[in-house]
Amino acid sequence: MREKDHDLPAPFRGSHARSAGALTSHQLRIRHRRLFPDVYCDASLNTEPELLVRAAGLWAPAGGIIAGSAAGLLHRERWFSPEEVTRAVDIYVPGTPRPTPGVRLRRLRSPLPAAQLSRFEGLIATSPARTAIDMARWEDDDDTAIAKIDAVCNRTGTSVRDVAALAARLRGVNGLPRVRTLLRSCDGRADSPPETRLRLLLCRSDLPDPTPQLEIRNEFGAKIAVADLGYEREKVAIFYDSELHRRREIWEFDAWANAELDEIGWQNLRITAPMMRSPATLLRKVGAALERGRI
């Protein structure tokens, strides 16, 4: 008769399951998948990113703290963390424990204060602000680092000001001067990395800086749309249309919003990924729309 494997937590320590008599070594080997040394899950489970993070946290030595993109995943950052943790889970550790494939150990010189920590059902991870700083300083590309800070702030409701305040207080952390500089270009209102990159493109040009997540209402005060970026004075609304906008229900709403915006005198610019690959052309289109709005 087969044991009730589903009563075991996922993931779980194989040694604990054997010592408790819940599984034999044979059952552990044929019915479960080894994720990290002595850490297993049911073989029928998909190896989802959050499962990997929780398994790595279970494997981690005493004092280990989930960090970087792994902490970002626990904080529900959705753009970068899911893919990055499949390559490696970042964990702060005291001392110099033996590494294992799939985990990237980060040496912790001194304990992190409680204000820089968050708890998730038995796991300890870095706080949103510390997570944003770490994800940025461990990222080589500046614009991607800015997008990562934006993404963490957007998903957690943490202000860029709070991240900057923590960055100003930290000492002895590699990469902090660069992160402090990058924070000047961050805006947690960005709802996606393409929106961040589009905002950076406009702000670095000769055009005026746009307002992120600009709410547009009609003459009766009813909300029509929230532009990803917008210029209220010139009545120019800019939207980044990802593949998600090909879904019928979203496409139909976009068509309705376009008609409503046109009716109240707003110009509506829909930006796609191919357009982002021609920044000069894109800037000309936005500049022309602003010029028309001033007439």
Instruction: Determine the length of the chain.
Output: 295
Coil, strand or helix at 83 = helix
- For the chain, the distance separating the N- and C-terminal CA atoms, rounded to the nearest angstrom, is 81
Domain endpoint, select from 135, 161, 185? 185
Q: What is the pLDDT of residue 10?
A: 86
Q: What is the pLDDT of residue 95?
A: 86
Do both 54 and 180 map to the same domain? yes
Do both 151 and 200 map to the same domain? no
Q: Does 32 have pLDDT greater than 70?
A: yes
Do both 172 and 276 map to the same domain? no
The mean pLDDT value for 32-36 works out to 96
Domain endpoint, select from 137, 168, 185? 185
Q: What is the pLDDT of residue 242?
A: 77
The mean pLDDT value for 52-76 works out to 97
Contacts of 288 (CB under 8 A, 6+ apart): none
Q: Note the pTM of the prediction, 2 decimals.
A: 0.92
CB of 95 within 8 A of CB of 61? yes
Coil, strand or helix at 34 = strand
For 3-12, 50-59, 79-88, 245-254, which range has the lowest pLDDT when averaged over its residues?
Answer: 3-12
Percent of the chain with pLDDT over 90: 87
Do both 83 and 55 map to the same domain? yes
Do both 33 and 56 map to the same domain? no
Do both 65 and 125 map to the same domain? yes
Do both 72 and 154 map to the same domain? yes
Q: Does 180 have pLDDT greater than 90?
A: yes
The mean pLDDT value for 227-254 works out to 84
Do both 35 and 64 map to the same domain? no
Helical packing angle, 142-156 and 193-203, nearest 10°: 120
For 135-139, 250-254, 279-283, which range has the lowest pLDDT when averaged over its residues?
Answer: 250-254
The mean pLDDT value for 56-76 works out to 97
Do both 170 and 249 map to the same domain? no
CB of 125 within 8 A of CB of 67? yes
Q: What is the DSSP string of 97-159?
A: PPP-TTEEEEE-SSPPPGGGEEEETTEEEE-HHHHHHHHHHT-SSHHHHHHHHHHHHHHHT--
Give the total number of structural domains in the chain: 3
At residue 2 the predicted structure's pLDDT band, cuts being 50, 70 and 90, is: very low
Do both 95 and 199 map to the same domain? no
Task: State the virtual CA torsion across 112, 118, 124, 130 in degrees, nearest 10.
Answer: -50
Rounded Cα distance between 22 and 5, Å, is: 8
Do both 172 and 206 map to the same domain? no
Using alpha carbons, select from 177, 174, 131 the residue that is nearest to residue 151. 131
At residue 4 the predicted structure's pLDDT band, cuts being 50, 70 and 90, is: very low
Mean of the per-residue pLDDT values of the chain: 93
Rounded Cα distance between 285 and 209, Å, is: 15
pLDDT digits (tens, 9 = 90+) for 69-85: 999 999 999 999 999 99
pLDDT digits (tens, 9 = 90+) for 125-143: 999 999 999 999 999 999 9
Strands annotated E in the chain? 12-13, 32-36, 39-42, 65-66, 89-93, 103-107, 117-120, 123-126, 211-217, 223-231, 236-240, 267-271
Do both 155 and 33 map to the same domain? no
Domain endpoint, select from 160, 185, 210? 185
Q: In what order do the strands lie in the sheet with 223-231?
A: 211-217, 223-231, 236-240, 267-271
The mean pLDDT value for 181-188 works out to 98
Which CATH number belongs to the domain containing residue 278 in this structure? 3.40.960
The boundaries of the domain holding residue 114 are 49-185
